[in-house]
């Protein structure tokens, strides 16, 4: 592949693209340029090249055909939020939720790093489409990189190659991404976004979110700006279809901070009784959701990604058998451990590791065998619950939007927003409490509005206003809910079993969408009325259910005060409508005397 400088068959007909590639080549000075076509032959040639130079290690091809292991530099194993900047021309437009640098200064800093950085390397030009190739909701980009590992991952994670390039040439627009692994020096590492230019520059990292520029960089930080300008939403949400025994499917988009069961919900396996009755769950996406109003006023969603870039540790037959089945073949693993017979291994799997994620003989004194942020990259189509609707050009209609966090107390199992404005407040206020003693303080609440804190590419106040702007005549907006699978009892144990049992909560949401559940009105939202949650076959006592759905008025008054303080951090751009909505709920609580629930189990 090093002799591709003269390739003409894929040379772009689009002058703007060719000019940008020429400019990038003049800056980085590669030994060769390769225009990626996305073909299987190209992928296999890349794999052979990476096996030869040690970038990839072949895993057991009998147990895991087409699977390979990549070990990254130990100093390059995660996103680096403090080095991830959003460079709007005006600092205020980035907001307190982003790190900012003046665009001119940022360009100068990055171009100095890129100067000559690809000497002796091949420069790969990756045309890609985020979303189905023929969908009007999709948006295209071109990533230039010197990493064959990035090329291989982008082929799995996006619609990459000739078809994407054809669309780019047809439309004449694309997001630009320039990436180099550089020296992998943490002191020379930056991920810069230039929303006004639809441009990303990333240097010094080979890690997924920093290097696969179609993922968080384009699909969230740049796309959130595109979405604001064009009237849609780019969100950090899974998309899951719930099919009832009558064959009717409702699609749900859900946002959760990390460690809150997002992938498990996207690939949920119904409890045995539900399966017997004919309920099915369909996976459209596990991480990112783009939503746009349709002609009928409903929101329609696509998953802009074509694959899963999932966290390996904790993925097992007990927690997520669908994810485990997905990675049995044609998967790139990153920073996992290896067993004696050369199978990938991480905490939660049976078997014994002999080599850790750094390639050393496994020694517990060195820490976990697999890195806690070790990953798998795999085509979404390999998931047993993958939905063909993920390829629908028009997207799927969203019936409900769900927000959630990890809260051991106060937040009920499920509550429904009174209306869209109340739902935006729920999303803005969501967050999780720290649980690991190793972090120092336990029980510290970290708010992560819409699970977008590291990813909203502009001021959160303007972002909230954009969400509110969808509430207008002619719109048939989804109902909005908040869930909390993690409420604990006085004994410190979880009150709700979670995992597949969460379908019981989704069933109630769908009943609310269809107007078949009355619900119980409270100051904080609508909760399931006694008897409305299907508990057949579930071993949960009445006291636990009452605690899961209890409304602590005093606790909520304190919560609303804290929410108000948090939101004022985005003034003066905080929408007055959101401020008034917080006040409305607080006033309702002040006048609320919550009657004790009637036991329902």
**Token pair of 167 as six digits:** 């669309």
d(CA 98, CA 483): 27
Q: Does residue 150 surpass a pLDDT of 90?
A: yes
**Token pair of 265 as six digits:** 């919900």
Catalytic option among 87, 260, 289, 383: 260
Domain boundaries, the chain: 15-56+78-231, 235-305+390-590, 307-382
d(CA 312, CA 64): 15
Mean per-residue pLDDT for 169-195?
A: 97
Per-residue pLDDT at 600: 39
Tell me the fold of 235-305+390-590. Phosphoenolpyruvate Carboxykinase; domain 3 (3.90.228)
CATH architecture classification, 15-56+78-231: 3-Layer(aba) Sandwich (3.40)
**Token pair of 24 as six digits:** 């990038």
DSSP class of residue 73?
-
pLDDT band at 7 (very low <50, low <70, confident <90, very high): very low
pLDDT band at 259 (very low <50, low <70, confident <90, very high): confident
Percent of the chain exceeding pLDDT 70 equals: 95
Q: Does residue 8 surpass a pLDDT of 60?
A: no
CB atoms within 10 A of CB 280: 16
Mean per-residue pLDDT for 76-88?
A: 94
For residue range 332-371, list pLDDT tens digits in order: 999 999 999 999 999 999 999 999 999 999 999 999 999 9
pLDDT band at 443 (very low <50, low <70, confident <90, very high): confident
State the pTM of this model.
Answer: 0.95
CA distances, 131 to each of 127, 169, 287, 291, 525 (Å)? 13, 17, 13, 12, 35
Residue 142: burial class (beta carbons within 10 Å; 0-12, 13-18, 19+): buried
Q: Does residue 580 surpass a pLDDT of 70?
A: yes
Mean per-residue pLDDT for 258-279?
A: 94
Q: Which residues contact 63 (CB under 8 A, 6 or more apart)?
A: 341, 343
Per-residue pLDDT at 501: 97
CB atoms within 10 A of CB 54: 10
**Token pair of 148 as six digits:** 């064959």
For residue range 452-494, list pLDDT tens digits in order: 999 999 999 999 999 999 999 999 999 999 999 999 999 999 9
Per-residue pLDDT at 2: 40
- Which superfamily does 307-382 belong to? Phosphoenolpyruvate Carboxykinase, domain 2 (2.170.8.10)
| Cα-Cα end-to-end distance for the chain | 65
**Token pair of 417 as six digits:** 């927003």
117 is catalytic: no
Give the CB-side neighbour count of residue 147, counting CA atoms within 13 A.
29
Per-residue pLDDT at 595: 43
- One DSSP character per residue, 12-57 reads -S-HHHHHHHHHHHHHH--SEEEE----HHHHHHHHHHHHHHTSSE
Stretch (H or E) spanning 599: none
Q: Where are the alpha helices (DSSP H) in 58-145?
A: 91-94, 103-114
Is residue 503 within 8 Å of 489, Cβ to Cβ? Answer: no
pLDDT band at 6 (very low <50, low <70, confident <90, very high): very low
Per-residue pLDDT at 441: 61
Per-residue pLDDT at 591: 86
Mean pLDDT computed over every residue of the chain:
94
For residue range 379-403, list pLDDT tens digits in order: 999 999 999 999 999 999 999 999 9
Per-residue pLDDT at 597: 41
Per-residue pLDDT at 10: 43
């Amino acid at each position: 592949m090093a002799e591709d400088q003269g390739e003409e068959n894929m040379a772009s007909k689009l002058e703007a693209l060719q000019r940008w590639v020429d400019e990038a080549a003049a800056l980085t000075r590669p030994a060769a340029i390769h225009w990626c076509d996305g073909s299987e032959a190209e992928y296999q040639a890349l794999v052979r090249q990476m096996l030869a130079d040690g970038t990839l290690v072949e895993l057991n091809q009998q147990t895991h055909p087409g699977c390979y292991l990549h070990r990254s530099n130990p100093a390059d194993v995660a996103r680096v939020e403090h080095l991830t900047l959003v460079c709007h021309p005006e600092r205020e437009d980035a907001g307190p939720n982003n790190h900012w640098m003046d665009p001119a200064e940022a360009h100068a800093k990055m171009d100095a790093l890129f100067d000559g950085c690809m000497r002796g390397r091949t420069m790969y030009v990756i045309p890609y489409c985020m979303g189905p190739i023929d969908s009007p909701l999709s948006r295209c980009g071109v990533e230039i990189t010197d990493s064959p590992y990035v090329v291989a991952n982008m082929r799995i994670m996006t619609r990459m190659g000739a078809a994407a390039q054809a669309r780019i040439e047809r439309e004449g627009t694309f997001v630009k991404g320039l990436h180099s692994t550089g020296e992998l020096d943490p002191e020379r590492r930056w991920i810069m976004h230039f929303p006004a230019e639809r441009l990303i520059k990333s240097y010094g990292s080979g890690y997924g979110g920093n290097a696969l520029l179609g993922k968080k960089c384009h699909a969230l930080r740049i796309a959130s700006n595109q979405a604001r300008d064009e009237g849609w939403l780019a969100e950090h949400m899974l998309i899951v279809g719930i099919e009832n025994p009558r064959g009717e499917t409702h699609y749900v988009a859900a946002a959760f901070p990390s460690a809150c069961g997002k992938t498990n919900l996207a690939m949920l396996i119904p409890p045995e009784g539900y399966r017997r009755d004919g309920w099915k769950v369909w996976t459209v996406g596990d991480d990112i959701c783009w939503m746009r109003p349709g002609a009928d006023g409903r929101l329609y969603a696509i998953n802009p990604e074509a694959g899963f870039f999932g966290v390996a540790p904790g993925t097992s037959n007990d927690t997520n058998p669908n994810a485990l089945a997905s990675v049995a073949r044609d998967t790139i693993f990153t920073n996992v451990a290896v067993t004696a017979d050369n199978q990938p291994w991480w905490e939660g799997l049976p078997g014994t590791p002999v080599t850790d994620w750094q390639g050393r003989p496994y020694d517990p004194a060195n820490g976990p065998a697999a890195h806690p942020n070790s990953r798998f990259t795999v085509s979404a189509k390999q998931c047993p619950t993958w939905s063909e609707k993920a390829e629908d050009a028009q997207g799927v209609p969203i019936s409900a939007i769900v927000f959630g966090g990890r809260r051991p107390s106060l937040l009920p199992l499920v509550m429904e927003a009174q209306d869209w404005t109340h739902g935006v407040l729920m999303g803005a206020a969501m967050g999780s409490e720290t649980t690991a003693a190793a972090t120092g303080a336990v029980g510290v609440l970290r708010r992560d509005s819409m699970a977008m804190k590291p990813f909203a590419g502009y001021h959160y106040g303007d972002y909230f206003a954009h969400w509110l702007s969808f509430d207008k005549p002619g719109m048939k907006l989804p109902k909005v809910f908040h869930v909390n699978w993690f409420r604990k009892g006085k004994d410190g144990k979880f009150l709700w079993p979670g995992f597949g049992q969460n379908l019981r909560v989704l069933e109630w949401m769908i009943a609310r969408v269809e107007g078949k559940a009355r619900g119980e009105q409270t100051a904080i939202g609508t909760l399931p009325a006694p008897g409305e949650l299907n508990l057949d076959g579930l071993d949960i006592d009445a006291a636990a259910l009452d605690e899961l759905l209890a409304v602590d008025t005093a606790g909520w008054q304190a919560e609303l005060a804290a929410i108000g303080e948090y939101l004022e951090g985005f003034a003066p751009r905080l929408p007055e409508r959101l401020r008034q909505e917080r006040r409305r709920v607080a006033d309702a609580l002040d006048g609320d005397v919550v009657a004790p629930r009637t036991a329902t189990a």
